[in-house]
């Protein structure tokens, strides 16, 4: 069992097999060689892994994010943020974080946010003398907040595989997401002050345009700002479920792109839909294969054995969470959040419940951990996106994220040991 | 030694109890010839996946309210017809009637499923955020139901809006007011602490849930004769044994409900009569549209009358 | 492989991509119509949730075919990038062949399941749709994944495709 469920998948993973084939091969071979289960189960569980209403939110939020990033929303949002941060020293750095935060509130994907903020702000950050490494690190790491701020594909996957309410997870992510952004912004301002010199002082085009005034900028970007409000208030007021919020977000983005901003043709909207279908296949085929893998783990009694081990070791929730944070941070260096959430949730959630930790709070801890993993070297989608979109050297990106990594890990500790930060808003639902 | 995986969507309820008693009864008869593994709480997948699992033989056995097997064997919906059982005891007399029980065992055999357990689960109640002691109170309310016609159509007939919704979204939807209530059994309502969100249940007394345990027939036939016999006997012994447990569990759940500040309301005799009439019209229409279902329905009703 | 054949494969792939895009847009419209119906009129479109989920199953597995065709599946390629060109190419070919074998195995199981479901006549709960309809997505897609993996094994490595208009791999 250890061969087919641990050694084989690790070997295939290292040899560069796509994650979904790693999980599929491990599951199918375990069934054929170790378990006495008819191999028909392979088909049945692959199908069942995707045939899940909660997962519908994934294609919808992917599509809404694609439309938003293509219809010129990011420029408008940057302008809006500059309209009230423009006077600050280090404003462009803060603007980068604020843009990632607000773009994160219209998109469920962290790499998409990195691409959008990077395209809009990288050149200006360089002009304002933030330096290449710092700018690249800032862009790659601030995009991570997009999966902590709702909507979030990571939370949808956690909720779907752990049977937790996605609405609650979305609401629970708001304050931790804002805390991460605040901590990042504080770090940037501090860094700019400590470096003295003229960093962040030189005027740039965007900073100039940002002085168009708060009111004018708000009107200019109202269409984009309305999107997170529609989604979150819809969920909060009970008008629709997270999945329906995703559908509404898509329809709204289509209307905004076609008739509001007149920035996309129907053909371009279809193009965005086709790319979203591609991305959906890329993500959810892993969900499907992970269902097979975790089915084998369950029937082989792995979660039960781990609970037994935790009981014997007499771990307190505090120590358990610290251990989990350490493990997730290390894992996050090598694998993508989608796979990590799908493989780990069924294993960890029974232990979490056994220890009396709130599963919603745990979902947030897991999401934050894995959002950090998205920009920790050597493997992190955000790193690769920053590299390819900004034509940068991967080494510069990796060096640049270090400071931000420490800031976010410190924030992770606060989020882990202060459950009300995540749970308070959900009690108001 | 052969392994028998028993799956269910629930935990610590009468279905789970049946699985545990069945495992003991089977061990008494065949020792460790069959290794029974119990997977409650949807550990092996969602309800539709578990149904397919037994059909395909990836799971040997699955226990569920009959409503979820209708897509496999349409005749099983007869047990959901409103107003056929007077009480849990009456229900048990009907499904444990020796001759009719033998018939139940074979009802889904065409589809490759053998029914080795048939038990009383619990009454269907309607949970609401606002008290609904009158039938007219339910008009216009958005009520979460299963996607089965025998739940949807009767609810529409009395003016409510039936909405199938995934279980994980029921709690936030209730809290936020996206739905006003749901149909469910009391053990489920207390197990998931619904009294924190909505205080009122109305006991419509229209339907008692029957749960059945099905095994994959190919797997069953591949067992030696003594094991086959032991499985059938253990199933029946377990269903006799859990009846009082099930009745007591519903009472315990009712008490837990009121202990946590919930209220259990009942319709007036007049309202009940009018509701039963409406429900019967609707369900008769559904149940007589297919001659095979109609024949099974008639056979069931004969036992229902004889055992009243 | 001749230019003509690969040209028509390209055209077919482009139509295929567009159809998946249209499917997604149709899903959005149905979903919003259902939410609006419930909120404004207190009436859901019967069976719409089920239909949406079945559509998503097709979208996902066919989407995975596109990802296979463009060799865009998520994976860890750092080790591979460290290898010299010869061994790297060998590893890639072995990998594509292994994936093709695995896909064939899945398709075989899938075929058996479809036959069984047809025999039983299993139908869905809300719409009464034959369950073969959503399940067939697995068979069809894994057969296509098998085909594309073989093509990937035979073909020299291609630069990332640029059919999304932006000139970049979508993320
Ligand atoms: Na987000
Ligand atoms: Na990483």
Residue B178 has phi, psi (to 5 degrees) of -70, -30
Distance CA A228, CA A225 (A): 7
Cβ atoms of residues A165 and A241 within 8 Å: no
Query: Taking CB atoms and an 8 Å limit, are B178 and A238 in contact across chains?
Result: yes
pLDDT at B169: 65
Distance CA C163, CA B185 (A): 54
- Round the CA-based radius of gyration of chain A to a whole number and report it: 22
pLDDT above 70 coverage of chain A, percent: 96
Structure confidence by residue, pLDDT tens digits, B210-229: 999 999 999 999 999 999 99
Distance CA B47, CA B66 (A): 12
Min Cα–Cα distance to chain B from C16, Å: 29
Chains with at least 3 CB pairs less than 8 angstroms from chain C: A, B
Question: Who wins on pLDDT, A231 or C117?
Answer: C117
Question: Who wins on pLDDT, C64 or A74?
Answer: C64
Question: Who wins on pLDDT, A195 or B121?
Answer: B121
Tell me: pLDDT of C166 over 50: no
Distance CA A420, CA A415 (A): 9
Tell me: pLDDT of C169 over 50: no
pTM for this model (two decimals) = 0.88
Q: What is the mean pLDDT of residues A224-242?
A: 82
Cβ atoms of residues B60 and B216 within 8 Å: yes
Q: How many helices (H) and strands (E) does chain B have?
A: 11, 10
pLDDT above 90 coverage of chain A, percent: 38
Residue bearing tokens 């296509």? C144
Band the pLDDT of C80: cuts 50, 70, 90.
confident
Tell me: pLDDT of B147 over 80: no
Expressed in angstroms and rounded, the spacing between residue A238 Cα and the centre of ligand 1 is: 19
Report the chain C residue with the minimal C-alpha distance to residue A54. C53
Q: How many residues does chain B have?
A: 308
| Burial class for C41, CB neighbours closer than 10 Å (0-12, 13-18, 19+) | exposed
Distance CA A137, CA A129 (A): 14
Of C24, C80, C95, the CB nearest to A276: C24
Structure confidence by residue, pLDDT tens digits, B250-261: 999 999 999 999
Tell me: pLDDT of A104 over 70: yes
pLDDT at A210: 56
Residues of chain B neighbouring C54 (CB-CB closer than 8 A): none
Residue bearing tokens 């012994």? B237
Band the pLDDT of C162: cuts 50, 70, 90.
very low
Report in angstroms the alpha-carbon separations of B55 from A41, B48, B108, C129.
11, 11, 11, 17
The mean of the pLDDT values for chain A is 87
pLDDT at A422: 95
Tell me: pLDDT of C3 over 60: no
Is B206 at the interface with chain C, CB within 8 A?
Answer: no
Residue bearing tokens 């709702």? A150
Cβ atoms of residues A116 and A210 within 8 Å: no
Tell me: pLDDT of B187 over 50: yes
Report the chain C residue with the minimal C-alpha distance to residue A276. C21
Distance CA A72, CA A86 (A): 21
What lies within 8 Å, CB to CB, of C53 at 6+ separation is A51, A52, A53, A56, C134
Query: DSSP character for A212?
Result: G
Distance CA C121, CA C128 (A): 10
| Burial class for C81, CB neighbours closer than 10 Å (0-12, 13-18, 19+) | exposed
Structure confidence by residue, pLDDT tens digits, A27-63: 999 999 988 888 999 999 999 999 988 888 889 988 9
Report the chain C residue with the minimal C-alpha distance to residue B145. C126
Band the pLDDT of B145: cuts 50, 70, 90.
confident
**Of B186, B134, B172, nearest in space to A165 by CA:** B172
Expressed in angstroms and rounded, the spacing between residue B274 Cα and the centre of ligand 1 is: 51
Structure confidence by residue, pLDDT tens digits, C32-61: 998 888 778 777 787 888 899 999 999 999
Query: Taking CB atoms and an 8 Å limit, are C73 and A56 in contact across chains?
Result: no
Structure confidence by residue, pLDDT tens digits, C82-124: 899 999 999 999 999 999 999 999 999 999 999 999 998 888 8
Min Cα–Cα distance to chain B from C139, Å: 16
pLDDT at A328: 85
Structure confidence by residue, pLDDT tens digits, A338-350: 778 888 888 888 8
Distance CA A108, CA A245 (A): 12
pLDDT at A209: 58
Report in angstroms the alpha-carbon separations of C48 from C40, C109, C112.
16, 29, 29
Query: Taking CB atoms and an 8 Å limit, are C66 and A278 in contact across chains?
Result: yes
Cβ atoms of residues B154 and B279 within 8 Å: yes
Band the pLDDT of A199: cuts 50, 70, 90.
low
pLDDT at C163: 36
Q: What is the mean pLDDT of residues B186-215?
A: 90
The mean of the pLDDT values for chain C is 86
Expressed in angstroms and rounded, the spacing between residue A101 Cα and the centre of ligand 1 is: 8
* Packed helices A57-70 and A242-255: angle between N→C axes, nearest 10 degrees: 30
Distance CA A332, CA C144 (A): 32
Query: Taking CB atoms and an 8 Å limit, are A238 and B172 in contact across chains?
Result: yes
Ligand that comes closest to the CA of residue A369:
2
pLDDT above 70 coverage of chain C, percent: 88
Tell me: pLDDT of B116 over 70: yes
Expressed in angstroms and rounded, the spacing between residue A387 Cα and the centre of ligand 2 is: 14
Residue B179 has phi, psi (to 5 degrees) of -130, 160
Is B1 at the interface with chain A, CB within 8 A?
Answer: no
Q: How many residues does chain C have?
A: 171
Which of A371-380, B103-112, B276-285 shows the lowest per-residue confidence on average (mean pLDDT)? A371-380
Q: Which of A244-248, A257-261, A399-403, C99-103 has the highest mean pLDDT?
A: C99-103
Q: Where are the domains of chain A?
A: 1-37, 38-428
Is C60 at the interface with chain A, CB within 8 A?
Answer: yes
pLDDT at A207: 56
Tell me: pLDDT of B172 over 90: no
Residue B38 has phi, psi (to 5 degrees) of -105, 125
Residues of chain A neighbouring B192 (CB-CB closer than 8 A): none
Is B58 at the interface with chain C, CB within 8 A?
Answer: no
Query: DSSP character for B159?
Result: T
Distance CA B173, CA A236 (A): 9
Band the pLDDT of A388: cuts 50, 70, 90.
confident
**Parallel, antiparallel, or unpaired: how do β-strands B161-164 and B142-145 relate?**
parallel
Q: Distance between alpha carbon B66 and the CA centroid of its chain, in Å?
A: 5
Give the start-end residues of each E strand in chain B: 2-7, 34-39, 61-65, 113-128, 142-145, 161-164, 181-185, 200-203, 208-216, 263-266
Cβ atoms of residues A168 and A362 within 8 Å: no
Chains with at least 3 CB pairs less than 8 angstroms from chain A: B, C
What residues of A are in the B interface, CB distance below 8 Å? 36-38, 40-41, 44-45, 47-48, 51-54, 159, 163-168, 235-242, 295, 298-299, 429
Tell me: pLDDT of C79 over 60: yes
pLDDT at A416: 95
Query: Taking CB atoms and an 8 Å limit, are A48 and B49 in contact across chains?
Result: yes
Cβ atoms of residues A371 and A147 within 8 Å: yes
Q: Distance between alpha carbon A141 and the CA centroid of its chain, in Å?
A: 11
Tell me: pLDDT of B142 over 90: no
- Using the Cα atoms of residue A234, residue A240, residue A243 and residue A247 in order, give the sign of their dihedral: negative
Is B133 at the interface with chain A, CB within 8 A?
Answer: no
């Amino acid at each position: 069992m250890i061969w087919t469920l641990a050694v084989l998948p690790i070997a295939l993973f290292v040899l560069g097999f796509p994650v979904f084939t790693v999980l599929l091969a491990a599951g199918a071979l375990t069934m054929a060689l170790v378990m006495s289960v008819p191999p028909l189960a392979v088909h049945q569980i692959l199908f069942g892994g995707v045939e899940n209403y909660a997962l519908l939110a994934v294609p919808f939020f992917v599509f809404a994010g694609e439309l938003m990033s293509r219809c010129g929303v990011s420029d408008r949002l940057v302008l809006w943020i500059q309209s009230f941060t423009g006077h600050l020293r280090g404003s462009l750095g803060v603007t980068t974080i604020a843009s990632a935060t607000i773009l994160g509130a219209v998109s469920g994907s962290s790499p998409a946010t990195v691409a959008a903020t990077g395209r809009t702000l990288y050149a200006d950050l360089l002009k304002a003398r933030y330096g290449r490494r710092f700018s690249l690190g800032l862009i790659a790491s601030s995009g991570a907040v997009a999966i902590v701020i709702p909507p979030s594909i990571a939370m949808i996957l956690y909720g779907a595989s752990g049977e937790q309410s996605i609405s609650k997870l979305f609401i629970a992510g708001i304050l931790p997401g804002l805390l991460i952004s605040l901590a990042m912004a504080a770090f940037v301002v501090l860094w700019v002050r400590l470096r003295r010199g003229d960093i962040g002082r030189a005027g740039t085009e965007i900073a100039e345009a940002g002085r168009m005034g708060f009111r004018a900028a708000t009107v200019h970007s109202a269409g984009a700002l309305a999107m997170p409000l529609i989604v979150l208030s819809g969920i909060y007021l009970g008008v629709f479920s997270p999945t329906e919020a995703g559908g509404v977000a898509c329809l709204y983005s289509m209307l905004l792109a076609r008739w509001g901003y007149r920035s996309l043709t129907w053909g371009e909207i279809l193009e965005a839909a086709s790319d979203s279908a591609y991305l959906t296949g890329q993500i959810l085929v892993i969900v499907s294969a992970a269902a097979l893998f975790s089915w084998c783990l369950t029937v082989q009694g792995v979660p039960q054995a781990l609970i037994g081990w935790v009981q014997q070791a007499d771990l307190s929730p505090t120590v358990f969470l610290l251990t989990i944070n350490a493990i997730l941070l290390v894992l996050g260096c090598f694998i993508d959040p989608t796979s990590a959430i799908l493989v780990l949730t069924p294993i960890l959630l029974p232990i979490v419940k056994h220890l009396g930790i709130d599963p919603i709070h745990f979902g947030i801890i897991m999401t934050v951990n894995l959002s950090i993993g998205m920009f920790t070297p050597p493997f992190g989608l955000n790193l690769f996106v920053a590299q390819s979109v900004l034509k940068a050297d991967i080494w510069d990106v990796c060096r640049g994220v270090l400071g931000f990594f420490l800031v976010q890990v410190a924030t992770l500790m606060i989020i882990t040991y202060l459950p009300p930060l995540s749970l308070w808003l959900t009690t108001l639902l | 030694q052969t392994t028998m995986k028993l799956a269910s969507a629930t935990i610590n309820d009468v279905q789970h109890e049946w699985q545990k008693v069945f495992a003991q009864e089977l061990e008494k008869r065949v020792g460790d010839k069959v290794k029974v593994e119990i997977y409650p709480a949807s550990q092996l997948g969602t309800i539709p996946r578990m149904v397919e699992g037994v059909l395909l033989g990836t799971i040997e056995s699955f226990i569920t309210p009959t409503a979820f097997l209708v897509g496999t064997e349409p005749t099983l919906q007869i047990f959901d017809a409103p107003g056929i059982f007077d009480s849990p005891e009456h229900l048990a007399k009907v499904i444990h009637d020796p001759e009719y029980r033998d018939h139940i065992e074979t009802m889904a055999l065409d589809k490759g499923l053998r029914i080795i357990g048939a038990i009383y689960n619990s009454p269907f109640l309607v949970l609401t955020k606002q008290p609904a002691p009158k039938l007219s109170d339910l008009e216009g309310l958005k009520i979460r139901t299963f996607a089965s016609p025998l739940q949807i159509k009767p609810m529409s007939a009395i003016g409510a809006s039936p909405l199938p919704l995934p279980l994980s979204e029921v709690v936030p939807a209730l809290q936020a007011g996206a739905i006003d209530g749901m149909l469910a059994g009391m053990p489920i309502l207390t197990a998931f602490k619904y009294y924190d969100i909505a205080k009122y249940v109305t006991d419509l007394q229209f339907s008692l849930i029957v749960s059945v345990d099905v095994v994959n027939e190919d797997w069953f036939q591949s067992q030696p004769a003594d094991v086959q016999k032991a499985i059938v006997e253990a199933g029946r012994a377990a269903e006799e044994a859990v009846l009082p447990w099930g009745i007591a569990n519903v009472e315990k759940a009712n008490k837990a409900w009121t202990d946590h500040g919930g209220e259990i309301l009942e319709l007036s005799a007049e309202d009940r009569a009018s509701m039963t009439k409406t429900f019967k019209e609707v369900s008769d229409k559904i149940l007589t549209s297919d001659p095979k279902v109609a024949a099974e329905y008639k056979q069931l009703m004969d036992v229902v009358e004889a055992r009243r | 492989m001749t230019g003509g054949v690969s040209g028509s494969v390209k055209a077919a792939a482009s139509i295929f991509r567009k159809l998946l895009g249209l499917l997604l847009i149709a899903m959005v419209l149905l979903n919003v119509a259902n939410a609006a119906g419930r909120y404004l009129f207190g009436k859901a479109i019967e069976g719409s949730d089920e239909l949406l989920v079945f559509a998503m199953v097709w979208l996902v597995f066919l989407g995975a075919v596109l990802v296979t065709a463009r060799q865009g599946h998520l994976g860890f390629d750092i080790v591979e990038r460290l290898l010299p060109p010869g061994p790297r190419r060998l590893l890639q070919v072995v990998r594509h062949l292994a994936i093709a074998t695995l896909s064939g195995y899945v398709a075989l199981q899938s075929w058996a399941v479809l036959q069984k479901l047809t025999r039983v006549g299993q139908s869905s709960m809300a719409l009464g749709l034959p369950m073969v309809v959503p399940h067939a997505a697995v068979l069809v897609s894994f057969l296509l994944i098998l085909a594309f993996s073989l093509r990937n094994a035979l073909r020299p490595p291609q630069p990332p495709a640029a059919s999304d208009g932006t000139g970049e791999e979508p993320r």
